[in-house]
Structure 1
Amino acid sequence: MTIGVEEEFLVVDPVTRRTAPFADSVLKQVGRLPRGARVHPEMLTSQVEFATGVCDSLGDLREQLVAGRRELAAAAGREGLGLVSSGTAVLAGLDVPMTSGARFERIAGMYAGVLEDYEVSGCHVHVGIEDRDTAVAVINHLSYWLPTLLAVSANSPFDNGRDTGYASWRMVQQSRLPGGGLTPWFGSAAEHDHAVDQLVDLGVLVDHAMTFWLARPSPRYPTVEVRVADAAATVDEAVQQAALTEALVKYALDQLDAGHEAKPIPDQWAAAAVWSAARYGMDGPGIDLRTGQCVPAKVLLAELTALTGTDVHVRPRMTGDPVTVVDALLEEL
């Protein structure tokens, strides 16, 4: 089974600690990358993305993530800048425009003011599955556990210097866009694709590559793409999210091989579970989407780790002075 990760980072001025609109300058300084890896601009000029190549093991993945972060940090340093990995900007820039380009301009035109402060960054995990019908069936199973993956990864309590009280303010910001949250239950890839077609035809998505669901069959690669996690502050946390995701995909495949299809999740349960994970992270209640019952998030995590055989380290929630938080994130990258 193959695996890959896409990581989004925020460019910051190390003096003011605010995000800075110089992603293009950083990307021009990037030199040698790991085999198959790529770097890209993102929606705002304060963001860059690093995508690993296709990896055959978590060890290979770790090596690529370490090398990619090292090269991007060095590239930023050559421009007198820094990079941080957090789900939202701890201290936002005063003037961070959209990245130029026809598609980004269409996106900005469609979503208008919602995107003016949309400096959100995620850790996206791709797990190789060739057959799209199988990918859709796997996602149906993953949906039970995506809120727990969000809670474990929550790394965005700040919104421009303000502690929001949420573990993942990124997910709150993302919820303002149409068609977000848990992926609806679909019986086939054709059903999934038809639903995406409808959203495009209704004028709420720019194109077929732009759904906001937290997991999807990738529109470009033969993978299941899980986009629920906040940007991981460290390589260890990014690898942990990849390991959990890969193990859940394997579990889902085992369930399908045994003839067990996932059941649809009521919309209100799904929305409540994502909200609860964003609000509390691992420090409060969660919602068991198999039963609709409110249970401690730590209980759900214990079940997830038992299910997947994966050890999990829970990161303490970021608190304190925003400048100190940015400095810590700069060091952790």
Structure 2
Amino acid sequence: MSLEAFSVSRPLTLGVELELQIVNTHDYDLSPSAADLLRLMARRKIPGDVKPEMTDSMIELSTGVCENHADALEQLTRIREALLDCAQRLNVGLCGGGTHPFQDWSERRIYNAPRFHMLSDLYGYLSKQFTIFGQHVHVGCPGPDEALVLLHGLSRYIAHFIALSASSPYVQGTDTGFHSARLNSVFAFPLSGRAPFVLTWDDFGKFFDKMTRTGVVQSMKDFYWDIRPKPEFGTIEVRVLDTPLTIEKAAALAAYIQCVSRYLIEERPFALSEDDYLVYTFNRFQACRFGVEGTFVDPQTGEHRTLHEDIVATMARLAPHAEALGALPALQLLAGELEGCGNDATWIRQLQSRERLLPEVVRQQCLRFAGAVR
């Protein structure tokens, strides 16, 4: 199987995908209600789409093509309102968060679709443990070579995206000590991690041909990389974010990625190198484990600073790009949270320390997703 052609898309356009938890309103455990929810949503006219995911207690919403932060927020709001109306008819709740804090993975059921059953046969119990919830952000690229250059440039900021979006401190009723425990589950899959360091589509095609000859890979969907090209859309897809607790933050995170992308394209602040990846896994782990207070190692200078410090400095550099893109409100939202609780993982922990009841935490996560509380 050969690598498909890379579609042309408008540079810096956005697409946002959010995987959501479906919970019952009795004890706020996960509810196997995806098929019923999707049946009701099929009658609703929305921008983008709503689709099933691996297990039947989760769904994925996706926007259409978005020009900017305001567009992404408007589309996400319209989809959310339709979803909430349908969920209310089924007496189920919807919420964000990278993991459900106390669900038992062994009780999950694979969604009845051929691809999901194939993946379940291949990956065994890992498929049910993949009941985790992430945000994916697509960035439009004018061509395939430009997409690969942007992909490797954005890799330097992967730790930012993880730390800001982290919302998965609890797994099966236990505080893991991580801000993003979700990504530990992703790392269990083969072909996860980072993309190979190639900067032209011709070289990427040679890599892809080698992989398909092994029989390990049949399409781009088989790569679970942190960032991967999506040739059918003409985008690169950033895949490391936990699903935030609000759509406002989801739109803000997408805008932050858009601003970083414009900064990289317009200013070319550093030369790309395979050596950039020497500290990649370390920075990634620090963001997962400690959130914004994790250590960041600058891949060019070797300087150590906190992710909080590096994000603040980056936001200052991004200001003119945010203004040009209409994304200043997005950066202000993220900066305000950065100086407050830091991220959603800390908010969840703080709430649990007060309530001492994880079902109550999930109930309040549902309220936050619905926009009822902040």
TM-score of the aligned structures, taking structure 1 as reference length: 0.92
Partner of 1:71: 82
Partner of 1:235: 247
Distance 2:125 2:239 in 1: 23
SS at match of 1:125: strand
Residues 106/200 of structure 1: CA separation in 2 closer, same or farther (3 Å cut): farther
Residues 56/279 of structure 1: CA separation in 2 closer, same or farther (3 Å cut): same
Distance 2:316 2:285 in 1: 24
How far off is 1:300 after superposition?
Answer: 1.4
Matches within 5 A, 1:1-333: 1-30=12-41, 31-35=43-47, 37-92=48-103, 95-205=107-217, 207-256=219-268, 261-265=271-275, 267-309=277-319, 310-311=331-332, 312=334, 313-314=337-338, 315-316=343-344, 317=346, 318-319=348-349, 320=352, 321-333=357-369
Greater fraction helix: 2
Alpha carbons 1:182, 1:271 under 8 Å: kept: no
Q: One-letter code of the match for 2:22?
A: V
Residues 182/19 of structure 1: CA separation in 2 closer, same or farther (3 Å cut): same
Distance 2:45 2:302 in 1: 45
Alpha carbons 1:288, 1:300 under 8 Å: kept: no
Aligned residues: 330
How far off is 1:276 after superposition?
Answer: 1.0
Distance 1:180 1:11 in 2: 26
Distance 2:175 2:214 in 1: 36
Q: One-letter code of the match for 1:218?
A: K
Q: One-letter code of the match for 1:285?
A: T
Distance 2:159 2:66 in 1: 26
How far off is 1:203 after superposition?
Answer: 4.9
Alpha carbons 1:3, 1:61 under 8 Å: kept: yes
SS at match of 2:107: coil
Alpha carbons 2:87, 2:94 under 8 Å: kept: yes
Alpha carbons 2:278, 2:299 under 8 Å: kept: no
Distance 1:206 1:82 in 2: 37
Residues 197/232 of structure 1: CA separation in 2 closer, same or farther (3 Å cut): farther
SS at match of 1:281: helix
CA-to-aligned-CA distance 1:23-45 (integer Å, 9 cap, x gap): 1111111143433x111001111
Percent identity of paired positions between Structure 1 and Structure 2:
26
Distance 2:279 2:79 in 1: 38
CA-to-aligned-CA distance 1:89-120 (integer Å, 9 cap, x gap): 11215621111222212211222122222211
SS at match of 1:242: helix
How far off is 1:322 after superposition?
Answer: 1.3
How far off is 1:201 after superposition?
Answer: 4.3
CA-to-aligned-CA distance 1:68-109 (integer Å, 9 cap, x gap): 111112212211111111111112156211112222122112
After superposing the two structures, state which structure 1 stretch, 297-306 or 193-202, moved more: 193-202
| Structure 1 segments of 4+ aligned residues over 6 angstroms from their partners | none
Q: One-letter code of the match for 1:241?
A: L
Distance 2:64 2:114 in 1: 26
Q: Tell me, which stretches of 5 or more residues in structure 2 are unaligned?
A: 1-11, 320-330, 370-374
Distance 1:178 1:293 in 2: 32
Distance 2:224 2:212 in 1: 12
Distance 2:217 2:364 in 1: 37
Residues 50/145 of structure 1: CA separation in 2 closer, same or farther (3 Å cut): same
How far off is 1:290 after superposition?
Answer: 3.1
Alpha carbons 1:276, 1:287 under 8 Å: kept: no
Residues 287/203 of structure 1: CA separation in 2 closer, same or farther (3 Å cut): farther
Superposition CA RMSD, Å? 2.0
